[in-house]
Amino acid sequence: MRRQRLYVDTSVIGGCEDTEFRSDGRALLAQARRGAVLLLVSPLLLRELAEAPAQVQRWLLDLPPDSVELLIESEEAVGLRDAYLRARVVTSACTDDAMHVALATVYGADLVVSWNFRHIVHVDRIRAFNAVNLREGYGLIDIRSPQEVV
């Protein structure tokens, strides 16, 4: 059976040290550690995580290498990100959020997992991301919080 490929954004890793999100975030990473899911990680997440405290960074660094797939920021993903911005799915202030969804879409993630309820895990935004995806020739992308995945 194929492992689910979950694109995680920085909020998932950071949430492992947040009282409100700790339990579900840690449970998701435990699933990856057991090999039940594969986490798709982008250079964007790594750049954002580099600014986080060491105890937050450790959550990703301590995962076994076979539980994580490192993506590259392709021209195709940049193009899709820009399509989201042109369609005003999110504003230019949220370019990184658009890039997270674009990378997940381009790389065929089964889910985007995020705690970002304002710009990513929001029903209107999910519909708008998917409208652009369909217009641009991509499939639908499912977006959930870690709580919905574990």
Residues 6+ apart with CB under 8 A from 3: 35, 36, 37, 38
Q: Which helix (H) or strand (E) holds 148?
A: helix 146-149
For residues 103-129, give the mean pLDDT: 97
82: exposed, middle or buried (C-beta count within 10 Å: 0-12, 13-18, 19+)? middle
Predicted pLDDT of residue 144: 98
Q: Which of 123, 142, 124, 139 minimizes the C-alpha distance to 80?
A: 139
What phi and psi, each to the nearest 5 degrees, are found at residue 66? -80, 0
Per-residue pLDDT for 87 more than 80?
yes
Average pLDDT, the chain: 96
Q: Express each pLDDT in 2-16 by its tens digit.
A: 899 999 999 999 999
Predicted pLDDT of residue 1: 75
Helices (H), 5-142: 10-14, 22-34, 43-49, 54-61, 75-86, 95-106, 123-135
Per-residue pLDDT for 136 more than 80?
yes
What phi and psi, each to the nearest 5 degrees, are found at residue 9? -95, 180
Domains plus CATH for the chain?
A: 4-148 (3.40.50.1010)
pLDDT band at 114 (very low <50, low <70, confident <90, very high): very high
For residues 79-104, give the mean pLDDT: 97
Using DSSP's 3-state secondary structure scheme, residue 9 falls into coil
Q: Express each pLDDT in 37-69 by its tens digit.
A: 999 999 999 999 999 999 999 999 999 999 999
For residues 92-102, give the mean pLDDT: 97
Predicted pLDDT of residue 6: 98
